[in-house]
Structure 1
């Protein structure tokens, strides 16, 4: 049977819708797996690694050393963004994302099998740092590819919503990773959890990677990049070109992340140490609060992302940045002096301003770069913030509290981050309504 023109058109539209759904699913599942692995490390860095890999240190020194290895992963992210940004803009989004998924999953599985310092000495923390570097490189290359996979396939009027599928991976990964740690912490004895229980979620990441690979292998390259290849408009040195011609957008993209990323890692990682050490609250209690907050954010991210398609990215984003600054002092007041119920509510509510920013963020950054430089440019801007905002956050918070004796020094740190973000959002161009399918506009460099 031969289809008429209308039949062909309907078939093409149906095939396109299937690919959009697959791209969105691949985007969400891939980032979920990668962030599951990343957050497992964050939680373990707060609860297990200080005494497992730095047993000779004091509680303060152990926490500092553990969070230093945590920060290494963030420092490696821009390196990953540069490496995979080059190949993502040269050979395509799909192939590059398969490599990042394998890197993250395998390195996390090895962390789950790594002996402690008591067994292999100094080699243990050194191997831990090396594996954290690999994780950081993988995450650095993952984000922009996952975002573009959904953004470049779907309806351009819904870029905010489509880009949020990659962002959803953060709360889902946090729920799975933290949920696994919470379950094991609640059901095992402290000795069993510290000895072998914490390893189970890391080993399960190998199973999740296999699932993610099956899904990612079924998707096609995005139409925008396919057209770029067809027209022979791919850049020879896309990352260098992005830095040369779009350095302003890269720096502003990094700046808009300060009030989103830095407080988030305080609210999800540092809070585990602070609340448990300041109160007679159990690890499980704090993990449960983080888990509920992440579950709430899972619903809020697509909501705020869809709002950004209607009202503009910058308006929604600025609301989140301002709210982050406003809750900084009340948040630590409650953590320092509040009851169980108030602390629980404060931890959960801290996820709301993050969702206001993190939801629209993918589209806000991604649409700031032309197609032939988008993987590398967006990745560099996004991951550069990790070096100055997310990575040092728990380390600086630990130092600030130890040096000043007051948690309000950390509150001031959060307010400063909010001010940086507000200024950068103001100067970053809002392209919410612009057409980013620009392959015929930009010439090969």
Structure 2
């Protein structure tokens, strides 16, 4: 079926306004991912003992990681709701709503009593607030990517589409620093008792800043053109189901290998490294901080390389293969002491993870037309995340538990995900063209 698309000259968007667009996209994304990743870090450090107390550390950790995974399964519902809002009403309206909801949920986690105070209501409420976080994030990612990408000149859309991908890295980095600063200021005991709440409460402060930035940004030219031509009427989900269901499934498939290794290198490592391997938290945080900073620096470079579709596909494929082959090396290096830990996280976050994350938004945008691009990108991203990202810490802990600590089980699991993703990439590749984005 022929695609309608909008091509416009770079002069149509001034450098000043495009800078504001990128800042609004990135700032809001940082706030949302900071809030979201706080939970993952706290799940690995304190939530197990506070909300899911058990005599066995690994059992408590697995219960905590299970709640971490819960939000991923509600992200597709957020994708459906906010995707429809973004495709029918506008990208801006959806992004304002996601940021507000995320801030509310995160702030409430910061004041939630533990199991010792209110019993089973504590984990129940924690799960509910985590669900709200997942629902909000279901509409954030694709909206932030499209806000930058659809405002950018056609020949530079991959580069600008990669910039919001710095947001998750910055959010994760800020979360790490927040926990470290609180621990340094109040001590380990206070951190585990009450001070862990401070980073969650601080997260609320970024919400009005993000809202202010996004309020000053106009709608994207792609959406306005689709709206003026009457293409934004009707359900985006029905359009996808009737026109591009195969591409949607392929979009889900490529996300599997993009997301699983990242959560292995970050969320799983924090919990498993401190609780099971006995690695000092300062070493873990230092290694993750270094890897994250490096990933921030290389992400725009990968985006620049991907300004042509064939390069985007090639970058993703190379990143997927490296991620699969690197898994046993990662586990081996982590067990080699501080130097190995730093090398393991640095390479993992900079090469396979950043390589794939920098271009996945561009691949999605080029596969779907503007009238259901928000929904298609959101569904592909978040269903894939639910299947392989949120479950990765739990699956890795389970596989290591039943195999007596053999990391080859985790390696085999990632190999299966990688194979599915590469097949999906071949399918999605047929929908990638210069004119689609």
**TM-score band, normalised by the shorter chain?**
over 0.9
1:294 to 292, 299, 315: 292
Q: How many residues align?
A: 426
Q: What CA distance in whole angstroms lies between the structure 1 residues aligned with 2:12 and 2:364?
A: 29
Q: Given that residues 71 and 131 in structure 2 are in contact (C-alpha distance below 8 angstroms), is that contact kept between their aligned partners in structure 1?
A: yes
Matching residue of 1:441:
none
What is the aligned partner in structure 2 of residue 442 from structure 1? none
Q: Relative to structure 1, is the Cα distance of residues 245 and 432 closer, same or farther in structure 2, using a 3 angstrom cutoff?
A: closer
Per-residue Cα deviation, 1:25-76 (whole angstroms, up to 9, x for no partner): 1111111111101110000000010001012452122111111110111001
Q: Which residue of 1 aligns with 2:411?
A: 411
Counterparts in 2 of 1:213-224, with a 5 A limit?
A: 213-224=211-222
Displacement of 1:433 in angstroms is 5.0
Cα deviation, 1:280-323, whole Å, max 9, x if unaligned, reads 42112111111111111001111111111146211111111111
Aligned to 2:187: 189
1:428 aligned partner: 428
Deviation larger for 400-409 or 304-313: 304-313
Listed one character per residue, the Cα deviations across residues 206-260 of structure 1 (whole Å, up to 9, x for unaligned) are: 1101110110000001111112222222131112221332111111111111111
Q: Please tell me whether residue 156 in structure 1 is matched to residue 147 in structure 2.
A: no
Determine the C-alpha separation between the residues in 2 that align with 1:328 and 1:139. 28
| Structure-to-structure mapping, 1:191-206, within 5 angstroms | 191-206=189-204
Deviations 1:355-386 (A, max 9, x none): 01000111011221011111111111111102
1:260 corresponding residue in structure 2: 258
Q: Which residue pairs with 1:369 in the alignment?
A: 368
Q: Which residue of 2 aligns with 1:3?
A: none
Deviations 1:303-357 (A, max 9, x none): 1111111462111111111111121111112223x12211221122110210010
| Superposed displacement of residue 14, structure 1 | 7.4
Question: Is the CA contact (8 Å cut-off) linking 1:86 and 1:238 kept in structure 2?
Answer: yes
Query: 1:379 and 1:315, CA in 2 relative to 1: closer, same or farther beyond 3 A?
Result: same
> Could you tell me which residue of structure 1 aligns to residue 314 of structure 2?
315
Distance 1:381 1:66 in 2: 26
CA shift at 1:187, angstroms? Answer: 4.1
* Bigger mean CA deviation after superposition, 413-422 or 247-256: 413-422
Structure 2, unmatched stretches of 5+, are 1-8
Please tell me whether residue 175 in structure 1 is matched to residue 173 in structure 2.
yes
State the alpha-carbon separation in 2 of the partners of residues 138 and 43 from structure 1. Answer: 19
For the residues of structure 1 that align with 2:274 and 2:245, how far apart are their CA atoms? 42
How far is 1:175 from its partner?
0.8
C-alpha displacement at 1:425, in angstroms?
Answer: 1.4
* d(CA) in 2 for partners of 1:234, 1:14: 22
CA shift for structure 1 position 274 = 2.0
Report if the CA contact (8 A) 1:332-1:411 is conserved.
Answer: no
Aligned equivalents of 1:219 and 1:343: distance in 2? 42
Give the Cα separation in 2 of the matches to 1:371 and 1:14. Answer: 18
2:45–2:271: 8 Å Cα contact kept in structure 1? yes
Pair 1:33 & 2:35 matched: no
Partner Cα distance (1:170, 1:341) in 2: 25
CA distance in 1 between partners of 2:90 and 2:182 (Å)? 40
Distance 1:57 1:250, change over 3 A: farther
Helix, strand or coil: the match of 1:348?
A: helix
**Superposition deviation, residue 79 in structure 1:** 0.5
C-alpha distance in 2 between matches for 1:181 and 1:141:
27
CA, structure 1 residues 119+235, in 2 after alignment: closer, same or farther (shift >3 Å)? same
Please state whether the residue corresponding to 2:306 is helix, strand or coil: helix
Counterpart-to-counterpart distance in 2, 1:348 and 1:139: 26
Larger Cα-atom Rg: 1
Measured on the aligned residues, the alpha-carbon RMSD in Å equals 1.7
Please say if residues 312 and 430 of structure 1, whose CA atoms lie closer than 8 Å, have aligned partners that are also in contact.
no
SS at match of 2:434: coil
